[in-house]
Homo-oligomer: A and B are copies of this chain.
Amino acid sequence: MSKLLNAACDDINHPVIAIIEDSDEDFYTFMRATKKLNLLDGSPYNFLRFQDGDEALDYLFREGDYKSLQAPLPIAILIDLNLPSTDGREVIHRVKQSPTLKKIPIIVLTTSNSLYDIQTCYQYGANCYMLKPMGAFEMQQTVQVIYQHWFQFALLPSYGQFSP
């Protein structure tokens, strides 16, 4: 079973992949690609979406509305760079400076191919940097490469921790 969660506490039995993406269009293009590839069938992972950096940070650091949340931390984070409020670069920087959060893999998925952005993200500790392609077929290819690498082959650090 795999699904898009509406809230961070909706399903604590399955590991969560957090997606931080403000654009509805880009988010649903991504989700359509995962469905088209049948990547979700039999997958143990749920997706949880955040539309801005501040809310994502509150969720990750268990602050604000998420202060009492007992759900495990996500096993991985997919993040866009240009976000309302705290932007993606700063989210990466803050997560990778936290001793508890830094081991969560962060996959950047963005339209920016600026060398400055690429270098800054790796310097801040992002685990990889992928270009968000134009076109549904290209998006499917990218999603398949990300999914296969990170969720079928790589060994991930954990999804059992509750608080930073």
> How many copies of this kind of chain does the complex include?
2
- Report if A123-B102 is in contact (Cβ < 8 Å); known contacts: A118-B156, A128-B149, A155-B129: yes
Is there a chain B Cβ closer than 8 Å to A103's Cβ? yes
Chain B's closest residue to A128 (CB) is B154
- A122, A123, A131, A141 interface centre (most CB from chain B within 10 Å): A122
B103, A122: Cβ atoms closer than 8 Å: yes
A130, B158: Cβ atoms closer than 8 Å: no
- Residues in B with CB closer than 8 Å to A157 are 118-119, 122-123, 129
Whole-angstrom CA separation of A115 from B156 in the bound complex = 9
Is there a chain B Cβ closer than 8 Å to A83's Cβ? no
Is there a chain B Cβ closer than 8 Å to A150's Cβ? yes
Is there a chain B Cβ closer than 8 Å to A86's Cβ? no
Chain B's closest residue to A123 (CB) is B103
* B-contact bits for A71-110, CB 8 A (1 contact / 0 none): 0000000000000000000000000000100111100000
- Report if A122-B105 is in contact (Cβ < 8 Å); known contacts: A129-B154, A130-B154, A154-B128: yes
* B-contact bits for A118-134, CB 8 A (1 contact / 0 none): 11001101011111000
Is there a chain B Cβ closer than 8 Å to A146's Cβ? yes
Is there a chain B Cβ closer than 8 Å to A113's Cβ? yes
7 A-B pairs whose Cβ atoms sit less than 8 Å apart in the complex: A102-B122, A102-B125, A118-B156, A129-B155, A131-B155, A145-B148, A148-B149
